[in-house]
Structure 1
Amino acid sequence: MTIRILIADDEALLRMAFSMVLDAQPDLEPIGEAGNGADAVRLAVELRPDVVLMDVRMPGTDGIEATRQILRNCPHTRVLILTTFDLDEYAFAGLKAGASGFLLKNTRPEELLAAIRTVAAGDAVVSPRVIRRLLEKFRPHLPDPAATAPDERLSRLSSREREVLVQVGAGRSNAEIAAALHLAEATVKSHLGRILQKLELRDRVQAVIFAYESRLIRPS
């Protein structure tokens, strides 16, 4: 199935470059370009893309607010934020607005293409490094696990799935989890898929939040 993509960036040359990279892929189709956030929202509502490549800093409506508006009006569209600035505030704001991923614009083309396919399939693309930094910075603002009742959905998980979820909540990558639990990386990926299904979670980011809210991990 072809993945339809809207490109939102205030630099025309970057829009053209992204479009050329996407056009070369048989399963990816660039369907529109926007030079500002307001146009991105308008085109998303009109074209209903599967994925929006969203710049953060654009004139008028910025990429974060545009993401919020797009997901409110087009709940089945996924947003992948691309920015020049490796700032925690941008990553946190974008994820809070509902974005499914956060990448730097200097990401290699093959990584960008893989990220687009990943978010289109319903998963999130946020590096474990970014997750760890966000947890360190915003941990004081997370819900206090001691003040909330354990989530009943935890009972759906096997003991091994709980172990994997704890590792995910700590911001570790699949490779790191595999090494820590002496598993194959493919096995970790399978466990994570079942965890998301059983807990009714959208992606890895929601799994991290769930791990805190359900007391599997305590802020420290």
Structure 2
Amino acid sequence: MSTRVLLVDDQVMFVENLKVVLETYAPELTIVGIANDGQEAIRKARDLSPDIILMDVRMPGLDGVGATERILKEFPRVQIIMLTVFDDDEYVYQALNRGARGYLLKNMRPAALVSSIKAVLDGAVLISPVAAQKLVAGRANTRPSEAKHEAPDWLALLGAREREVLSLLLEEMSNSEIAEKLFISESTVRNYISGIYNKIGVENRFQAIRVSRLYRSFL
């Protein structure tokens, strides 16, 4: 059964290009509709029953953050990913606090975007590396004496399964070993690891282990 996708963006050219990208790189996703503002997104969510919504943040009238909150009140099982050209940390907080499952920048490569969508469908919460770094930097002025006793901001973005995967990464397990341990496929492990990289704001396994080792007791 294919995954039903609703696209929401006030920039017609962008949303049409996004439709082509998804149809090309992820034929298992079915684009069931396009909306150009938050109000239309709410109506089409009711009419089309999408599984996942890719939602622009800044739109005239009702913006993506407000539309996300209203849609999820009616349809809590819908997965919503915010797509934006901005990495404003206030929008990141607002979107995630209202239930968005991801906050990604529009300039992502097609393959990375598709991988992120699949990770969200598998239960992950995703955030672009740039936005994740801003979230972490937002607490950079915390006094050292306090920092030792506080979990990092990115930890709150990790789902339960992502924490399990990260704990096993810290044990230096391979992807195949993690898959066997958690009874999931290696491709699912890779999706979780990609989500972990995005949220921590790192680019590879070594960096993820180095950063997260300091907070192992919080996992």
Q: Does 1:19 align with 2:19?
A: yes
In the alignment, the residues of structure 1 paired with residue 30 and residue 101 of structure 2 have an alpha-carbon distance, to the nearest angstrom, of 19
Shift of residue 55, structure 1, vs aligned partner: 0.2
Q: Does 1:4 align with 2:12?
A: no
3-state SS of paired residue (2:34): strand
Cα distance 1:77–1:84, how it changes in 2: closer, same or farther (>3 A)? same
The RMSD of aligned alpha carbons is 4.3
The alignment's TM-score, normalised by the length of structure 2, stands at 0.67
In the alignment, the residues of structure 2 paired with residue 56 and residue 98 of structure 1 have an alpha-carbon distance, to the nearest angstrom, of 13
Percent identity over the alignment is 34
Partner of 1:126 in structure 2?
A: 127
Partner of 1:36 in structure 2?
A: 37
Partner of 2:90 in structure 1?
A: 89
Amino acid aligned to 1:46: D
3-state SS of paired residue (2:69): helix
The CA deviation string for residues 46-100 of structure 1, in whole angstroms up to 9 with x for no partner, is 2110110100010100000111111111111100110001221121111111111
Shift of residue 26, structure 1, vs aligned partner: 2.5
In the alignment, the residues of structure 1 paired with residue 77 and residue 157 of structure 2 have an alpha-carbon distance, to the nearest angstrom, of 26
Please say if residues 52 and 80 of structure 1, whose CA atoms lie closer than 8 Å, have aligned partners that are also in contact: yes
In the alignment, the residues of structure 1 paired with residue 112 and residue 37 of structure 2 have an alpha-carbon distance, to the nearest angstrom, of 25
Cα distance 1:39–1:178, how it changes in 2: closer, same or farther (>3 A)? same
Partner of 2:61 in structure 1?
A: 60
The CA deviation string for residues 181-202 of structure 1, in whole angstroms up to 9 with x for no partner, is 32224545777899xxxxxxxx
Amino acid aligned to 1:169: L
In the alignment, the residues of structure 2 paired with residue 6 and residue 170 of structure 1 have an alpha-carbon distance, to the nearest angstrom, of 27
The CA deviation string for residues 156-203 of structure 1, in whole angstroms up to 9 with x for no partner, is xxxxxxxxx99x839899998776532224545777899xxxxxxxx9
In the alignment, the residues of structure 1 paired with residue 180 and residue 133 of structure 2 have an alpha-carbon distance, to the nearest angstrom, of 22
The CA deviation string for residues 102-150 of structure 1, in whole angstroms up to 9 with x for no partner, is 110000111111122221232222246644532442698xxx9xxxxxx
Cα distance 1:116–1:51, how it changes in 2: closer, same or farther (>3 A)? same
In the alignment, the residues of structure 1 paired with residue 183 and residue 133 of structure 2 have an alpha-carbon distance, to the nearest angstrom, of 21
Q: Which runs of 5+ in 2 are unaligned?
A: 185-194, 201-216
Partner of 1:182 in structure 2?
A: 172
Cα distance 1:94–1:20, how it changes in 2: closer, same or farther (>3 A)? same
Q: Which runs of 5+ in 1 are unaligned?
A: 145-164, 195-202, 209-215
3-state SS of paired residue (1:80): strand
3-state SS of paired residue (1:57): coil
The alignment's TM-score, normalised by the length of structure 1, stands at 0.67
The CA deviation string for residues 10-41 of structure 1, in whole angstroms up to 9 with x for no partner, is 01111111111222333011111111111111
3-state SS of paired residue (2:77): coil
Partner of 2:187 in structure 1?
A: none
Partner of 2:206 in structure 1?
A: none
3-state SS of paired residue (1:79): strand
Cα distance 1:193–1:57, how it changes in 2: closer, same or farther (>3 A)? farther
Please say if residues 87 and 131 of structure 2, whose CA atoms lie closer than 8 Å, have aligned partners that are also in contact: no
Stretch deviating more after TM superposition (28-37 or 125-134):
125-134
Please say if residues 88 and 131 of structure 2, whose CA atoms lie closer than 8 Å, have aligned partners that are also in contact: no
Mapping 1:47-196, distance limit 5 Å: 47-127=48-128, 130-131=131-132, 133-137=134-138, 169=155, 180-187=170-177
